[in-house]
Amino acid sequence: MLRITDARTGETVDAVRARRGLTRVEAHVECDDLSALRVLLVADVLARALELGGTPVVTVADPPATLRARADALGIRRAEGERGGAGPALHVLVSPGGAPEGPAPGRSASGDPASRDPAPAGQDPVIPAPADADPDGVRIEVAPVSGTADPSLLRMILLATPRRQSLDLAAADLDGARETLGRWREAVAGWATRPSKPVPEHVRQELRAAWEDDLDVPAVLEALRRVEHAEDVPDGARFETYAYADRLLGLELTRDIGTQW
């Protein structure tokens, strides 16, 4: 069962009340900036995690057209529902004031430097009223992002940084993200040519334990790094592991299958 920190209380709670009941994931954005894009990404990954756990999900968001185009470039699925619909809601929004509690300044779980600088003045993508007006909804806050980065790498960089940790892309390891993503896609294409083997049960449990623990996506990436070099995991099982994890990550890790000769 996915458990998430409710920013209103600071307590960790079950993300859904009933596993089979419809849950709304509402992303609250109004500006076209990287912080708003991060909100949409967290909402996207949250919806994927719930679906992997068997919970029906409908996503809700109304981003500006320019932000919607940027979200499309990151593979973020489009919203399907309307605010105020049936079912419990999980509200995703930027931390007010740009100074959320969370990991201390320094390096993220991926090893990338990260700052805690607030979002640029005048760019607050929070729409607090809907979340505050829903006393039963869970409020999930993400920290602001600043700087610029290649859109093809941005999803990887954001996933590798804890969502409540501010991120300055000027300090991020863009070359490292590019190398890792390229290496994994090439490796997955190679592993796909080997006899298929199921995801080892201990690996599946490790992956699920990571994302069900407050949506700890950096821990999912660390688990994949271990599988990449694990001597006791056959190549066919590596392929199935990466394909399974990518249902959450959305990094197109299977994109290059069939391109190797």
Which CATH number fits the domain that encloses residue 181? 1.20.120
Which residue range is the domain that position 215 belongs to? Answer: 177-249
Contact in structure between 30 and 65 (CB atoms under 8 Å): no
pLDDT given at position 123: 40
**Global confidence as pTM:** 0.85
Domain boundary among 112, 139, 172: 172
Give the separation between CA 205 and CA 115, rounded to whole angstroms.
32
Contact in structure between 133 and 26 (CB atoms under 8 Å): no
In total, how many domains does the chain have?
A: 2
Closest alpha carbon to 23 in 114, 123, 134: 134
* Same-domain pairing of 153 and 217: no
* Same-domain pairing of 219 and 189: yes
pLDDT given at position 156: 96
- Inside any domain, residue 254: no
Domain boundary among 112, 140, 172: 172
- Inside any domain, residue 256: no
pLDDT given at position 131: 55
Phi/psi of residue 77, nearest 5 degrees: -65, 150
pLDDT given at position 205: 97
* Same-domain pairing of 99 and 191: no
The single-letter code of the amino acid at 130 is P
Closest alpha carbon to 188 in 249, 230, 240: 240
Give the separation between CA 170 and CA 146, rounded to whole angstroms.
8
Q: How many CB atoms are closer than 10 A to CB 190?
A: 15
Give the separation between CA 72 and CA 181, rounded to whole angstroms.
19
* Same-domain pairing of 117 and 229: no
Domain boundary among 119, 138, 172: 172
* Same-domain pairing of 97 and 143: yes
Residue at token pair 């990571």: 210
pLDDT given at position 234: 97
- Inside any domain, residue 112: yes
pLDDT given at position 58: 93
pLDDT given at position 98: 53
pLDDT string in tens for the chain (261-residue length)? 899 999 999 999 999 876 677 899 999 998 999 999 999 999 999 999 999 999 999 999 999 999 999 999 999 999 987 776 667 899 999 998 653 333 333 333 333 333 333 334 444 433 444 556 677 789 999 999 999 888 889 999 999 999 999 999 999 999 999 999 999 999 999 999 999 999 999 999 999 999 999 999 999 999 999 999 999 999 999 999 999 999 999 999 999 998 864
* Same-domain pairing of 168 and 88: yes
Give the separation between CA 40 and CA 196, rounded to whole angstroms.
34
- Inside any domain, residue 259: no
pLDDT given at position 260: 61
Q: How many CB atoms are closer than 10 A to CB 64?
A: 14
* Same-domain pairing of 124 and 219: no
Q: How many CA atoms lie within 13 A of 128 on its CB side?
A: 6
Contact in structure between 143 and 102 (CB atoms under 8 Å): yes
Q: Which residues pair with 60 in a beta bridge?
A: 26
Closest alpha carbon to 110 in 153, 51, 48: 153
Q: How many CA atoms lie within 13 A of 131 on its CB side?
A: 24
If you ran DSSP here, which 8-state letter would residue 15 be given? S
Give the separation between CA 128 and CA 149, rounded to whole angstroms.
28
* Same-domain pairing of 18 and 109: yes
